[in-house]
Structure 1
Amino acid sequence: MNYKNRAVVLGANYYIGLSIIRSLGRKGVKVTAIDYTKEDSYGSRSKYLDEHLIAPHYGREPERFLEFLINYSKNQDYKPVLFPSSDPYVEFIDKYFYELKEYYLFPMDRKGFWSEVMDKYTMSLLAQKFNVKVPETINSKEENLVERVREEIGYPCIIKPMDSASFVRKYRNKVFIIEKEEELIEKVKMCHNDDFEILIQRIIPGPESNCYCYDAYLNQESKVTHWTTAYKIRQWPINFGASTYAKQKYIPELHDICKPFLEGIKFKGFSEIELKRDEKTGVIYLIEVNVRIINFNEMLYNCGLNFPYITYMEMTDKLPEPKSVEEDLGYTFLYMYEDLFAVKEYLKTGQMSLSKIIKDISFKNVASTWSFSDPKPALYFMSRVALKVFNKLTKSQ
């Protein structure tokens, strides 16, 4: 098939961008990746990448980055399809929605809606509107915060940011675990001083395997056309991080919860909803919503759901035939680099035993970065890690 429109991937310096490149390139789509630096951009080494460009930084020079993207599109015969590989790029697209919509194709048709769904507080309001349960949550700016947390949530609890991307960049954590009132007061004050809007939320009890994912594509009529489900086995940071080891598994309850919610809010394009089952009550709670391609995209690809290509086709021609994976295929996703840290921490805290970790080993692993047919990105990534370790060791001597 002759694909006229290019795909433009924002960010090839992480394995999500690499996975988008591979998912499209394998089908023969011409892919351009745009980064702000060549350093650590291991996705740009993929044989499936047709073009790699360096642009101004999206955060430090947003107007210049916008101008770069517009000028790039103007030089194309057909509108490119735009793919953000991380939340900061999503926020950038939302901010300059109308300017980019004129020159690029992407599924969402409402300015600011992606950010509204990613925002933990507005997401919880949307969930409640459609009768989807969310953990008990209190805005940190509410009056009598300490008393309310004590009476309504209890300890331990977590502090969650409304804007995860900037919070993680600042603190290197997705959440803060709070064990007592003194910690709550200290951390809330710190976050407020740094101008972060935060929530205090109940921790849903249960092991990592109670953390579920519903991955779906919604067409331009906001109807779910493609979907599957999965669960986490390990994540980093442990308990409140991104999947380092996950497995596809058919969990029909998730479809019953998530499909009406996504269709009800009129979502369009790819979305992943993260949920967790309370081990004490069995109730499933919505935790957060991702609005861009996620970290175990390669596993979804192996399950027969090529979400980047589905997006590309609906934007440029016609949506592929609907498909759902309503069986257990046995595929697992492994991000070995961070999973090593996760395994060490699970063993250290006693949350997992060595026998359980061995029992969870699968022979249908899908690696985050390594590919026999496209080895250069992984080799470059490993060389960069080795260099950083070497520099750290030599500096410490």
Structure 2
Amino acid sequence: MNNKAVILGCNYYIGLSTIRCLGIHGIHTVAIDYSAEDRYGSESKYCSERLIAPYYKEDPKGFIQFLIDYAKKQSVKPVLIPCHDSYVEIVDEYLDEIREHYLIPQTEKGLYTKVMNKETLHALAVEKGMDVPETVRIDEENFIEKVESTLKYPCIVKPTDSPAFVAHFRKKLFKVFNREELVAAIEKSKKANLEVIVQRIIPGFDDHMYTFDAYMNQDAKVTHWVTCQKHRQYPINFGASVYTEQKYVQELYDIGAPFLEAIGFKGFAEIEFKKDAETGKFYLIEINARITNLNNLLYEVGVNFPYITYRELTGSPLEPYAVKEDKHRVFWYAYEDLLAIRGYLRTGQLTKKQVMQSLMKRKSYAIWDWKDPKPGLVNFRKIAGKLLKKN
């Protein structure tokens, strides 16, 4: 355990749960952020070092040099774990340089970006025989007519580069109900220099969203996996998991594992699927190529993905394991779930009774941990401060 674990992005609970998953095994964890503000993840008692690096968007070469300089000071190569899409993108861009100094699962430069980019992922999925939502590209001839005849309204205008889109618009996509809204959404995206595609909305409430979370070893073979079912997301209908349950669905492995292995993926990946409410068919929606929001849930049902990554890269891989039963446990990000519940109730998508019944399940919290309370307290103060300012 001489190899340190360098975690990129600790101002969110993904970085926090990664620090905890490694720290409980006595691994030296290093939290790296570009700002000292709001980095509550590094307040964990399991965090060994806290560093501030140059901002990767403003000074990418300075950021990479910072990582390299840090690694050169170590007696053995650290393990590098990016916990945000933007960190994954820059690691992918400089993968060859980084791999000289860090242990990182992926060996093929560009593959992370390929699976994160909605357009190239769509092409990969079609090539490998995966079901994907029908898509129209805005540079196609008569694209509006194609949207109206093939996809129909409402449909979604979706970015090819999600991190950049979310950073600019503070939402994952535009849902449009007519031609005017379609044209306006495309114009907004063009002004922001963001590429978009238009997709059919797969029918089904948010509980038709599922995930296949898996680790692929250096032979690109799935060794560990868990499947989950979303119940609520925020923003509602097209957002991130805020209330998600571990649910064993063998079909997701049968679809997802061959695809990830066929494209030669290595390391952790989460495939998001949507089950068509009319046909029961699972459609690939997107892939997260970094530790997931649900990480604490996955850990508490028996699969510690950051530790699995660390052990394999440092030469002592863990035995393969999959969760093939329902553990009746949910991931809960309380703050955003309360906002989501308000939205579902307002739109009539859920009743108060349905919400109350769902909240009875055992929970894996996004941030709070009685054994490691400081990150939760720091984050609570931040949220309370925001709420007071609003009032």
Identify the TM-score tier after normalising by the shorter chain.
over 0.9
Cα distance in 1, alignment partners of residues 360 and 207 from structure 2: 15
What TM-score does the superposition give when structure 1 sets the normalisation length?
0.97
Cα distance in 2, alignment partners of residues 191 and 46 from structure 1: 38
Partner residue, 2:251: 253
Give 1:391 shift: 2.5
C-alpha distance after superposition, 1:166-209 (max 9, x if no partner): 10010011010010001111111221122111110000010111
Give 1:363 shift: 3.8
Give 1:362 shift: 3.1
Give 1:317 shift: 1.6
Give 1:318 shift: 2.2
Query: How many residue pairs were aligned?
Result: 391
Cα distance in 1, alignment partners of residues 290 and 151 from structure 2: 31
- Give the letter for the 1:295 counterpart: N
Partner residue, 1:153: 151
Cα distance in 2, alignment partners of residues 141 and 191 from structure 1: 14
- Give the letter for the 1:204 counterpart: I
Partner residue, 1:58: 56
Partner residue, 2:42: 44
What TM-score does the superposition give when structure 2 sets the normalisation length?
0.99
C-alpha distance after superposition, 1:142-164 (max 9, x if no partner): 12111110111100000110000
Of 366, 381, 386, which residue of structure 2 is paired with 1:383?
Answer: 381
Partner residue, 1:125: 123
Give 1:249 shift: 0.6
Cα distance in 2, alignment partners of residues 50 and 302 from structure 1: 23
C-alpha distance after superposition, 1:281-336 (max 9, x if no partner): 11110000111000010000001100000000111122100000000011100000
Matched position secondary structure for 1:233: strand
Give 1:64 shift: 1.1
Of 193, 196, 204, which residue of structure 2 is paired with 1:195?
Answer: 193
Matched position secondary structure for 1:347: helix
Cα distance in 1, alignment partners of residues 88 and 33 from structure 2: 14
- Give the letter for the 1:189 counterpart: E
Partner residue, 1:76: 74
C-alpha distance after superposition, 1:340-379 (max 9, x if no partner): 1000000000011111111112341010000000000000
Of 264, 267, 276, which residue of structure 2 is paired with 1:266?
Answer: 264
Matched position secondary structure for 1:147: helix
Structure 1 unaligned spans of 5+: none
Partner residue, 1:292: 290
**1:332 and 1:362 in contact (8 A); partners too:** no
* Equivalent residues in 2 for 1:1-397, closer than 5 Å: 3-393=1-391
Matched position secondary structure for 2:11: coil
Cα distance in 2, alignment partners of residues 390 and 360 from structure 1: 30
Cα distance in 1, alignment partners of residues 62 and 389 from structure 2: 34
**1:140 and 1:197 in contact (8 A); partners too:** no
Cα distance in 1, alignment partners of residues 193 and 104 from structure 2: 31
Cα distance in 2, alignment partners of residues 294 and 5 from structure 1: 23
Cα distance in 1, alignment partners of residues 343 and 242 from structure 2: 13
Matched position secondary structure for 2:36: coil
Cα distance in 1, alignment partners of residues 95 and 129 from structure 2: 30
After TM superposition, where is structure 1 displaced by more than 4 Å over at least 4 residues in a row? none
Matched position secondary structure for 2:327: coil
Cα distance in 1, alignment partners of residues 387 and 234 from structure 2: 20
- Give the letter for the 2:42 counterpart: S
Cα distance in 1, alignment partners of residues 260 and 97 from structure 2: 26
Structure 2 unaligned spans of 5+: none
CA RMSD of aligned residues (A): 0.8
Percent of matched pairs sharing the same residue: 49
